[in-house]
Amino acid sequence: MSALSRGRRLGVDVGKVRVGVAISDPDGILATPLVTVPRDMGAADDAVPSDMAELFRLVGEHEVVQIVVGLPVRLNGAEGPAAIDIRTYAGRLAQTVGEVPIVLADERMSTVVATRRLAERGVRGKRQRAVVDQAAAVEILQSWLDAQRRQR
């Protein structure tokens, strides 16, 4: 990709319990926390899970042009069961959001970095758990945006 087209991107950190969401500015420079959505693991196969329905709503509300989903690869670069789960999630999300492209981005250290940054700011315990997923989504999206800029 030689140039990053204008438009907001959604960064998504998918966990077992929560989905952290971040959003970029229209110029793709800065990622900011948006919301944490409870993960809906109990939806029937033919139903849209409530977390994906909320992501679909956010895409429309913020006129999102692309979704960046964190892919948990191992430190050695290999993909394990968690990465397979996220690839499945991203596929189902793609069916839900339709025309909005989804890219997978390496998120190896996003939660670790997010937790450390929150702790450095004095955010700990329950307060940290409430926002760490959003912070991890920010790390995923910001890293991806920075990489796109470096490629230009």
Question: pLDDT at position 109, please?
Answer: 62
What percent of the chain shows pLDDT beyond 90?
Answer: 60
The CA distance from 69 to 11, in Å, is 6
Q: Which two tokens stand for residue 117?
A: 């940054």
Please give the CATH number for the structural domain made up of 8-151. Answer: 3.30.420.140
Contacts 24+ apart (CB under 8 A), 57-60: 58/10, 58/21, 58/23, 58/34, 59/10, 59/97, 59/100
Residues 86 and 102 sit within 8 Å (Cβ to Cβ): no
Report which of residues 27 and 117 the model is more confident about.
Answer: 27
Look-up of token digits 């940054």: 117
- Let me know if 82 is exposed, middle or buried by CB neighbors in 10 A (0-12, 13-18, 19+): middle
Tens digit of pLDDT for each residue in 110-134? Answer: 666 767 777 777 777 766 666 778 8
Note the pLDDT of residue 44: 81
Give the mean model confidence (pLDDT) for residues 46-69.
96
Per residue in 60-94, pLDDT (tens digit) is: 999 999 999 999 988 788 888 999 999 999 999 99
Q: What pLDDT score was predicted for residue 152?
A: 72
Q: Is the pLDDT of residue 1 over 50?
A: no
Tokens of 112: 């670790």
Q: Where are the domains of the chain?
A: 8-151
Q: pTM of the full predicted structure?
A: 0.87
Instruction: Identify the band that residue 43 occupies on the pLDDT scale cut at 50, 70 and 90.
Output: confident
In angstroms, the CA 12 to CA 24 distance is: 12
CA-nearest of 21, 29, 109, 108 to 67 is 21
